[in-house]
């Protein structure tokens, strides 16, 4: 549209991939470019991506599944300067579940104890800047110097889960999660702990 007719328009570009290599492993990723810039100069491409590795029975450990992934959603992703176009539904982000201006490292190990019982341990480390989907107020997007922006909320967490599988009709799950927040909700020095 923009290239052929000269009128301004947006291109939302996405790519997902999975490579099953090496044996019992999968390398996977996602790339999203919000408002792809044809000229590559006027403003930065607004990028979000995920890269990860799943492994079944790593290093010969029977009945063990592991996952490692890193996700980053840049500050200007989902940017709109018209309220009716915001990527929100009932004030919740459409797209990555916690919006933009953040990154997350996830490490997970799941052990298949028996045919009906699994144990899972998950670690996450999230950094969330001050950028929000609803904060975009201008049409042009600046080239950023820092990511994440402003006062950064940092939250490591660990979660342990037990899963029970019945005869196909029933499933049970019990979990406990501990999280620590530095600069909670982007307030400098506001540190809290939370157990769920």
Using CA atoms, how far residue 50 sits from 30, 71, 74, 144, in Å, is 5, 4, 12, 20
pLDDT at 114 over 90: yes
pLDDT at 194 over 70: yes
Q: What pLDDT is attached to residue 38?
A: 73
pLDDT at 187 over 70: yes
Contact 64, 35 (CB under 8 A): no
Structural Rg of the chain based on CA atoms: 20
Distance (Å, whole) CA 72 – CA 104: 7
CB neighbour list of residue 40: distance below 8 Å, 6 or more residues apart:
none
In whole numbers, what is the pLDDT of the chain averaged over residues?
88
CB neighbour list of residue 5: distance below 8 Å, 6 or more residues apart:
none
Please state, for a pLDDT cut of 90, what percent of the chain lies above it: 59
Beta bridge partners of 14: 32
Contact 34, 12 (CB under 8 A): yes
Q: What pLDDT is attached to residue 57?
A: 94
Q: What pLDDT is attached to residue 48?
A: 95
pLDDT interval class at 146 (50, 70, 90)? confident
pLDDT interval class at 139 (50, 70, 90)? low
Distance (Å, whole) CA 85 – CA 166: 45
Higher pLDDT residue, 76 or 41?
A: 76
Higher pLDDT residue, 57 or 167?
A: 57
pLDDT interval class at 2 (50, 70, 90)? low
Q: How many residues does the chain have?
A: 196
Beta bridge partners of 19: 27
Reported as type and span, the H/E element at residue 4 is helix 2-5
């Amino acid at each position: 549209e923009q290239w052929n007719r000269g009128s301004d328009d947006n291109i939302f570009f996405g790519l997902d991939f999975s490579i099953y290599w090496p044996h019992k492993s999968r390398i996977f990723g996602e790339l999203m470019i919000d408002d792809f810039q044809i000229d590559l100069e006027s403003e930065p491409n607004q990028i979000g991506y995920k890269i990860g590795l799943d492994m079944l029975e790593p290093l010969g450990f029977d009945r063990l599944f592991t996952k490692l992934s890193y996700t980053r959603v840049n500050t200007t992703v989902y940017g709109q300067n018209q309220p009716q176009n915001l990527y929100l539904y009932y004030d919740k982000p459409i797209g990555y579940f916690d919006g933009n201006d953040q990154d997350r490292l996830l490490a997970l190990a799941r052990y298949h104890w028996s045919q009906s019982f699994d144990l899972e341990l998950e670690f996450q480390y999230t950094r969330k800047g001050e950028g929000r989907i609803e904060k975009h107020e201008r049409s042009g997007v600046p080239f950023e110097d820092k990511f994440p922006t402003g006062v950064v909320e940092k939250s490591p967490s660990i979660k342990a889960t037990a899963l029970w599988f019945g005869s196909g009709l029933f499933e049970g799950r019990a979990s406990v999660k501990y999280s620590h927040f530095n600069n909670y909700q982007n307030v400098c020095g506001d540190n809290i702990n939370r157990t769920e």
